[in-house]
Amino acid sequence: MDQAVLDFVYNHRIEWLNDPTVIFSHLLTPRWLFLAVLAWGLYSRRWSPAFAVGLGEVTALVLKWIIDRPRPPEFYQLTQVVDSGMPSAHTVAIFALAMVIRKPWAWAFAVASALARMYVGVHWLTDILVGVVIGVAVGAFVSWGSRPRSGVKVADL
């Protein structure tokens, strides 16, 4: 299935979309995304988005090292990437962020980023799908951990 989807995307690329999609894909790298939400965290004092992106990226990098799945052949790639492909770190990080932010525009960026990674030919469909699942799980974990808690406080003891 991975090969069929990649072939379909490759055969239906639109020439004038190639460069903008590569640029969009590069702008949403986990490190740039982390720096952007960290800067926003400094302004807003809301740290869960930066934590979600950072934890998502670290999780993805560890899994890439363990799984060590090759990316699609360079023939399909509009931009050359040589490290492991499973899971897509871009997808993990931005879906973790979307899960924490929970706004329609964040989900739209997450889906667009995931599709862009396939469009530029650097990920298989399953790399993306695994990235979505891990990203949502990381985002849910961070959201759960950053919820205000009620109950007994240390001062009450």
Q: What is the pLDDT along the chain (157 residues), one digit of tens a residue?
A: 888 888 888 888 889 988 888 888 888 777 777 777 777 777 777 778 888 888 899 999 999 999 989 999 888 888 888 788 889 988 999 999 999 998 999 899 899 999 999 999 889 899 999 999 999 999 999 888 766 656 555 554 4
**Residue 128 φ/ψ, nearest 5 degrees:** -70, -45
* Nearest CA among 33, 97, 31, 36 for reference residue 61: 31
Tokens of 113: 């980023």
Q: What letter does residue 16 receive in the DSSP assignment?
A: H
The angle subtended at Cα 132 by Cα 130 and Cα 134, nearest 5°, is 70
* Nearest CA among 28, 14, 21 for reference residue 120: 21
Residue 155 burial by CB count (10 A; 0-12/13-18/19+): exposed, middle or buried? exposed
- The CA–CA distances, whole Å, from 92 to 96, 153, 155 equal 6, 35, 38
Q: What letter does residue 155 receive in the DSSP assignment?
A: G
The set of residues, in sequence order, having a beta carbon less than 8 Å from that of 106 and lying 6+ positions away, is: 97, 98
Identify the pLDDT of residue 151.
59
Identify the pLDDT of residue 157.
47
Q: Which residue has the tokens 């990316």?
A: 71
Global pTM reads: 0.83
